[in-house]
Amino acid sequence: MEKLSGKDKELIRGSWESLGKNKVPHGVIMFSRLFELDPALLSLFHYSPNCGSTQDCLSSPEFLEHVTKVMLVIDAAVSHLDDLHSLEDFLLNLGRKHQAVGVNTQSFAMVGESLLYMLQCSLGQAYTAPLRQAWLNMYSIVVAAMSRGWAKNGEDKAD
């Protein structure tokens, strides 16, 4: 597992301090962006036929629950910046679960883009190139572990 620089950690912690206190609204900005980039992802949530528009979906309790889960994973990563490897088993398993529900690994990258979009909207002037890169570095570590679990699940099924 890759490591983050001291500067990366400082930038991530500093910016998450306020965002992390308001996870759900920030998560909703992220997922609104994600479904704008790839509306087909909406159908992977088995509860999506129950809602009319994307915005209706995003305000439904089931979606808000997933948004909350995603934000808690990000929160866990920010809390473990010094030992991200301790999340390895959890992230492998999470990747496996997403393989099972039909999410592909390219979509994880799209969540990353949406995360950066949310940071840009929320942080304004504080969204600098080094901060963007720091978040990208952390998110890439998380996604790399999820993708390993995703691939492992695919292999197990092919056996």
- Name the residue type at position 19: L
Out of 3, 7, 44, 89, the residue judged to bind ligand HEM by CB under 6 A: 44
Contacts of 78 (CB under 8 A, 6+ apart): 12, 13, 16, 20, 138
Q: With binding defined as CB under 6 A, does residue 80 bind ligand HEM?
A: no
Handedness of CA 40, 42, 47, 52 (dihedral sign): negative
Residue (34 or 131) nearer to ligand HEM, CB: 34
Binding mask 83-122 for ligand HEM (x = CB under 6 A): -----------x--xx--x-x---xx--x-----------
The DSSP H or E segment spanning 115 is helix 105-123
Measured CA to CA, the distance from residue 143 to residue 57 in angstroms comes to 25
| Closest separation in Å from C-beta 103 to ligand HEM | 4
Q: With binding defined as CB under 6 A, does residue 66 bind ligand HEM?
A: yes
Q: With binding defined as CB under 6 A, does residue 67 bind ligand HEM?
A: no
